[in-house]
Chain A
Amino acid sequence: MHDVAKHDDSKGQYFWVWGALLVLTAAEVWLGYNNQVFHGNSAHMLEVLLVLSIIKSALIIAYFMHLKFERAIMRWMLVISVTACFIIMYSFFFRDAARILPPPNGLGVQ
């Protein structure tokens, strides 16, 4: 894909990214099994795990899916549309997920 992308063909950076993904996954699993560090606050645990997952996703999109080496117009188009998609999903799904909250904020269903 040399006509649209300019980056060196060394495999080294893929291994660095892979190593970073392994380290981040290990951190997530450690937090999962040592979740007393969150003092029972599962919402805080959710935040930390999702931030780590977003970092991992950014690494995958940037390097493994080559977005970092694409044209600027391609990068902005994708980032803006993905962000818009997540905002719409947030509106739908988090509204629905509120059913599990106890009344009066939700329906209190299991």
Chain B
Amino acid sequence: MVLIAALFVIGEGLTLPIFPKPAHAAAGELADISKTTPQFPATFFGLTAMHMLHVTIGVIYLGVIAFRKWFLPVLGVLWIVGFALIPSDNVFHWGIHVLLIALIVATVILLLKPKNYDAQDVEVSGLYWHFVDLVWMFIFPLVYLMSTKIT
């Protein structure tokens, strides 16, 4: 049942290019939403902020694998020092609190899995990190380089 539903979804995706194009006057709903609602911020932050979230998760992952419990004081010191040194009118003065969240997450991970991580863990965390890297390979030229003004 699920397989049949999946085949229908895939089949529809593969055949979309041969569907008749909607006349643009008839596609009023789509056109109106696109004209009255800004499209850029949602697209831009949908790409870049989601990527930053995955990079943050990757830093926690690699930090726990590499340093285990010694990653907690590293995060704590960076959080305190960062908050103290970044001027209060800078957005990262409060943004540095993401390190506090990372500290809490890493603590929970180490409470749940307080072991020495082995070669398999290093391999898998490396695969995760490089997959996030792979996404950046396309976000960087598409979002940043393509937005440079053609002269």
- Determine whether the beta carbon of B14 is less than 8 Å from that of A87: yes
Interface of chain A: mostly helix, strand, loop or mixed: helix
- Determine whether the beta carbon of B145 is less than 8 Å from that of A49: yes
Which residues on B sit within 8 Å (CB–CB) of A95? 16-17
Given contacts A32-B145, A65-B131, contact A91 B35 (CB under 8 A): no
Given contacts A88-B13, A107-B30, A109-B31, contact A53 B150 (CB under 8 A): no
Which residues on A sit within 8 Å (CB–CB) of B35? 109-110
Interface of chain B: mostly helix, strand, loop or mixed: helix
- Determine whether the beta carbon of A65 is less than 8 Å from that of B130: yes
- Determine whether the beta carbon of A109 is less than 8 Å from that of B145: no
Q: B42 at the A/B interface (Cβ < 8 Å)?
A: no
Which residues on B sit within 8 Å (CB–CB) of A1? 119-120, 123
Q: B146 at the A/B interface (Cβ < 8 Å)?
A: yes
- Determine whether the beta carbon of B31 is less than 8 Å from that of A64: no
Chain B residue with minimal CB distance to A30? Answer: B145
User: Number of contacting residues on A, CB 8 A?
Assistant: 38
Given contacts A107-B27, A107-B30, contact A28 B150 (CB under 8 A): no
B137 in complex: contacting residue of A60, A65, A103, A106, CB < 8 Å: A60
CA distance A32 to B10 in the complex (A): 36
Q: List residues 60-107 of chain B with CB under 8 A from any CB of chain A.
A: none
Chain B residue with minimal CB distance to A50? Answer: B141
- Determine whether the beta carbon of A109 is less than 8 Å from that of B137: no
CA distance A107 to B146 in the complex (A): 21
- Known contacts A1-B120, A65-B126, A65-B131; 10 additional CB pairs below 8 A are A32-B146, A35-B148, A38-B150, A52-B141, A65-B130, A66-B123, A106-B24, A107-B31, A110-B35, A110-B39
27 contacts between A and B (CB under 8 A): A28-B140, A31-B145, A32-B144, A35-B151, A36-B150, A42-B146, A42-B150, A46-B146, A50-B141, A53-B137, A57-B137, A60-B133, A60-B134, A60-B137, A64-B126, A64-B133, A65-B126, A65-B127, A65-B130, A88-B13, A91-B13, A91-B14, A99-B30, A104-B24, A107-B24, A107-B31, A109-B34
